């Protein structure tokens, strides 16, 4: 069972930045997609950004130009750099892995953006 552990969430003022990290408990080799989803109170979970081991990246329209997803394979870690944060970005951000061994979710990290 792969464990995904997120960190980096917190409280930030509008316009500020945060960098989220997600560490996998083992090396993710082969074809896989890792990414970030978020769920705000009373709303459905939505994709924020994701990238494949081949380097293909997708961003939700609402974060393009402000958020950047990246990966450090040697550290089994995927990052989400979030800049110019808006209050509507307040949500629990969860790491997601799709791999040949299954689909995995992290516990999530809270991001709160104050106006």
pLDDT band at 27 (very low <50, low <70, confident <90, very high): confident
pLDDT band at 23 (very low <50, low <70, confident <90, very high): very high
Predicted pLDDT at 74: 87
pLDDT tens track for 39-97: 999 999 999 999 998 889 999 999 979 999 999 988 899 999 999 999 999 999 999 99
* Residue of 23, 12, 2, 18 whose CA lies nearest to 71: 23
């Amino acid at each position: 069972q792969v464990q995904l552990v997120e960190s980096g969430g917190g409280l930030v003022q509008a316009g500020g930045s945060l960098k989220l990290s997600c560490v996998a408990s083992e090396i993710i080799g082969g074809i896989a997609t890792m990414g970030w989803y978020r769920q705000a109170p009373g709303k459905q979970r939505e994709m924020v950004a994701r990238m494949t081991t081949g380097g293909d990246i997708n961003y939700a329209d609402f974060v393009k130009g402000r958020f950047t997803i990246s990966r450090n394979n040697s550290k089994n870690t995927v990052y989400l750099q979030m800049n110019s944060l808006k209050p509507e970005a307040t949500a629990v951000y969860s790491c997601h892995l799709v791999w040949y061994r299954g689909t995995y979710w992290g516990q999530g990290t809270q991001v709160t953006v104050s106006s």
